């Protein structure tokens, strides 16, 4: 089968015993990924390791049922454009973490710092509070150990990727050793989350749903009461399913969001004139008496376009997530066999000269139309598209916007003396991550002291100013 002869942006590869199709035409990706037949997952080492639990590496009825359920839980906690009040609850959770982050950054007094640990903690705390109502302090040793394990897990997985295409290699001593390490790493990570699940079971109350974990405990209770326990989660072990859902949402939401924040900082160091225009827009719209909030976003086209251009240029998830065909499928007049892996090449789309004018240039203005409004072309799909598109897109956009704008509103960014600008290429893996870099954050002055308050609009001056006075 060679679809590439007819359709320039399809590549088919035969690797070992596996068929692989790489798609880099956004229209074709949309057409394929909106079809149920393309919603499967490749049955590779990763799939086997997770044993059909969770959401990211499941398919068929369990995936469909879990996606619907997780989606409804996330909506309940504010991840929806349709419920302003709930949006504000989510915004408050994020702004709480923004406050901790800003305080910690201020305490550095403009020294050259590596932001990684601060971003990891802040983004982790947002997702952990939604999932299981816990937050970690900036120096918590238990949390540091967990981070090391998760990072090790990503690296170990990168090391066995060949097994997905040449499974017979798994009997070689090197791979046997690596698989053993992955299993041990998985047990340690699971033990950490299991302890939190056990604590939650002890303190669970049917009258108050604190987080996603409680939504699951409630679902189990309901199933028990209605005699449906055995059918719940398609008959899979309840505890393993809850634990894998937490791990899936945590890992999917943490690495991507934190990496995007790094790219935003790095692009602002490379393009200080863009950073200045974002700050000027924030000063004009938000003023110097409070931090930006989510309601400001429609009035901040330069800021929004800058975030979008960084998402495009950095291609944080360069290969999207692989899908697989669930059955033999007819597509564009060809038969694609069952279990063919389909890779949506988001990186190629983001850099395609047929889609973008001068794609190599960093130009936030490409997302602003003649009327000064932000426009996102249909082919821009950093969060994927179709039936398995990103479940956390709303949360990610809100977090990225609030962290980025709060940092730029509070600090000027500076490259430390004697340091060269961070590399823009990134290190290729499941995510495209920047190499480590140092930055100086120099405090900008506000017109009054900024303190968190109980309800929105949060972070107003302690002395409230009359509306419209900035």
Among 98, 215, 232, 391, binds ligand HEM (CB under 6 A): 391
Structure-token match 């960084």, residue found: 310
Give per-residue burial for 4-26: e unless 16+ CB within 10 Å, then b. Answer: eeeeebbbeeeeeebbbbbbbbb
Could you say whether residue 249 binds ligand HEM (CB under 6 A)? yes
Residue 215 marked ligand-binding? no
Q: In this structure, are residues 127 and 134 in contact, taking their beta carbons and an 8 Å threshold?
A: no
Residue at shortest CB range from ligand HEM: 392
Beta carbon nearer to ligand HEM, 390 or 461: 390
- State the pairing for strand pair 112-113/10-15: unpaired
DSSP 172: S
Could you say whether residue 390 binds ligand HEM (CB under 6 A)? yes
Could you say whether residue 42 binds ligand HEM (CB under 6 A)? no
Among 132, 147, 316, 408, binds ligand HEM (CB under 6 A): 316
Beta carbon nearer to ligand HEM, 178 or 255: 255
Task: Report the alpha-carbon distance of residue 76 to residue 83 in Å, rounded.
Answer: 9
- State the pairing for strand pair 112-113/411-414: unpaired
Q: In this structure, are residues 275 and 268 in contact, taking their beta carbons and an 8 Å threshold?
A: yes
Beta carbon nearer to ligand HEM, 346 or 439: 346
Beta carbon nearer to ligand HEM, 48 or 64: 64
| Interface region with ligand HEM, contact rule CB under 6 A, candidates 155-163, 203-211, 317-325, 455-463 | 317-325
Beta carbon nearer to ligand HEM, 33 or 175: 33
CB of 389 to ligand HEM, least distance (A): 5
Number of other residues whose CB lies within 10 A of the CB of residue 67: 16
Among 3, 62, 349, 395, binds ligand HEM (CB under 6 A): 395
Q: In this structure, are residues 45 and 170 in contact, taking their beta carbons and an 8 Å threshold?
A: yes
Beta carbon nearer to ligand HEM, 67 or 414: 67
Residues near ligand HEM (CB under 6 A), total = 26
Beta carbon nearer to ligand HEM, 217 or 324: 324
- State the pairing for strand pair 10-15/329-331: unpaired
13 - beta bridge partners? 20
- State the pairing for strand pair 334-336/439-443: unpaired
Could you say whether residue 33 binds ligand HEM (CB under 6 A)? yes
Which residues from 65-124 bind ligand HEM, rule CB under 6 A? 67
| Interface region with ligand HEM, contact rule CB under 6 A, candidates 4-12, 19-27, 378-386, 417-425 | 378-386
Q: Which residues contact 329 (CB under 8 A, 6 or more apart)?
A: 35, 37, 38, 335, 336
Task: Report the alpha-carbon distance of residue 288 to residue 446 in Å, rounded.
Answer: 5
Could you say whether residue 143 binds ligand HEM (CB under 6 A)? no
Residues that bind ligand HEM (CB under 6 A): 33, 55-56, 67, 248-249, 252-253, 256-257, 260, 316-317, 320-321, 382-384, 386, 388-392, 395-396
């Amino acid at each position: 089968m060679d679809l590439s002869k007819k359709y320039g942006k399809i590549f088919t590869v035969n690797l070992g015993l596996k068929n692989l199709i790489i798609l880099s035409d956004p229209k074709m990706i949309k057409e394929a990924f909106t079809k149920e037949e393309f919603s499967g997952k490749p049955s590779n080492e990763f799939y086997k390791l997770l044993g059909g639990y969770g959401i990211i590496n499941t398919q068929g009825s369990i995936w469909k049922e879990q996606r619907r359920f997780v989606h409804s839980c996330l909506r309940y906690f504010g991840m929806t454009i349709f419920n302003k009040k709930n949006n504000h609850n989510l915004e408050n959770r994020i702004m709480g973490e923004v406050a901790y982050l800003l305080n910690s950054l201020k305490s550095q007094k403009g020294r050259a710092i590596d932001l990684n640990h601060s971003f990891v903690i802040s983004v982790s705390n947002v997702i952990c509070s939604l999932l299981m109502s816990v937050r970690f302090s900036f120096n918590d040793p238990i949390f540091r150990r967990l981070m090391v394990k998760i990072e090790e897990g990503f690296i170990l997985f990168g090391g066995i990727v060949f097994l997905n295409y040449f499974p017979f290699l798994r009997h070689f001593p090197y791979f046997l050793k690596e698989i053993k390490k992955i299993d041990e790493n998985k047990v340690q990570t699971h033990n950490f989350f299991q302890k939190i699940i056990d604590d939650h079971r002890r303190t669970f109350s049917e009258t108050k749903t604190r987080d996603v974990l409680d939504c699951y405990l409630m679902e189990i209770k309901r199933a028990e009461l209605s005699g449906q326990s055995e059918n719940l989660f398609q008959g899979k072990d309840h505890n393993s399913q809850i634990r894998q859902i937490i791990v899936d949402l945590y890992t999917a939401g943490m690495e991507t969001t934190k990496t995007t924040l790094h790219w935003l900082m790095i692009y602002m160091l490379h393009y200080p004139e863009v950073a200045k225009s974002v700050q000027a827009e924030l000063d004009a719209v938000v003023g110097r008496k409070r931090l930006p909030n989510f309601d400001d976003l429609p009035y901040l086209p330069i800021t929004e376009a800058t975030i979008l251009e960084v998402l495009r240029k950095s291609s944080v998830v360069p290969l999207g997530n692989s899908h697989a065909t669930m059955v033999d499928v007819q597509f564009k007049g060809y038969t694609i066999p069952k279990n063919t892996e389909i890779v949506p090449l988001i990186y190629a789309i983001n850099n395609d000269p047929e889609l973008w004018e001068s794609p190599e240039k960093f130009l936030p203005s490409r997302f602003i139309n003649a009327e000064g409004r932000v426009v996102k072309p249909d082919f821009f799909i950093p969060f994927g598209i179709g039936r398995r598109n990103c479940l956390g897109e709303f949360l990610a956009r809100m977090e990225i916007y609030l962290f980025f704008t709060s940092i730029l509103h509070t600090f000027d960014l500076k490259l430390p003396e004697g340091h060269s600008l961070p590399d823009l290429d990134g290190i290729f893996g499941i995510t495209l991550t920047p190499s480590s870099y140092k930055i100086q954050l120099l405090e900008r002055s506000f017109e009054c002291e900024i303190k968190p308050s109980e309800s929105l609009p949060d972070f107003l001056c302690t002395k409230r100013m009359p509306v419209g006075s900035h």
